[in-house]
Amino acid sequence: MKVALAGVAMHAACARGALPSMVPADCPFAGPQDASRFDVDSLQGLAGEYQLIQVTWQPSPATVTRGSLHLEVPDSLGREVPCGFRKVRRDLIGWYRPADPSPSQWQAIIGSHDPTRPGAVVQGSALRIGMHCVMDGAGDNFTITAVSPRGFWGYWEADMGIAVVLDTVTHRILPDATGFFCALRNESR
């Protein structure tokens, strides 16, 4: 774990010169000063509506995607669910809707409101948007590193299952997308 975090920190430090032009003002690389380190006790407080902003730092060119994220505490029956030969604990469940959705099978998966197959699941400091509890499931994995009353922050990486992206010109396998994110709590209406 320490090696992975050191790699993320080193990569972020190296990319710092290239990112500022891409980083949106509402989602800077560093979290706000009132943010604190993620703590399992703060999970219940993460339920709510968010604007999720993902900044990709690899592969280039850098991109910014936005969407709406809903998280809620599952009922007692939906907290521990079967997954293969074991049970998994789900601290929060929800769904995700991209800012520019287009009807597709993928949109149905990540936008699912079905508590038995939600589009988003939080387990401890890990948020996954995509397929859950399936072999070779695709999705985005988020690691929550900081929280505040305004939202939560961290880094993310794409999980393409066994699929890879191939550069059609060079025939090289491209790295999976990765970057940082912020989930900004929607203001009460």
Q: Read off the pLDDT of each residue in 75-89 and give the average, rounded to a whole number.
A: 82
Q: Is 119 left (phi over 0), alpha (psi -120 to 50) or beta?
A: alpha
- In this prediction, residue 188 has a pLDDT band, given cuts at 50, 70 and 90, of low
Kindly tell me if the per-residue pLDDT of 9 is higher than 90: no
Token code pair at residue 129: 């948007």
Residue 67, H or E segment: strand 63-72
Answering whether pTM is above 0.85, one says no
| SS3 state at 135 | coil
How far is residue 50's CA from residue 98's CA, in Å, rounded to a whole number? 12
Task: Report the chain's mean pLDDT, rounded to a whole number.
Answer: 82
- In this prediction, residue 3 has a pLDDT band, given cuts at 50, 70 and 90, of very low
| Domain parsing of the chain, residue ranges | 2-185
At residue 169's C-alpha, the angle toward residues 167 and 172, to 5°, is: 40
The pLDDT, as a whole number, for residue 28 is 80
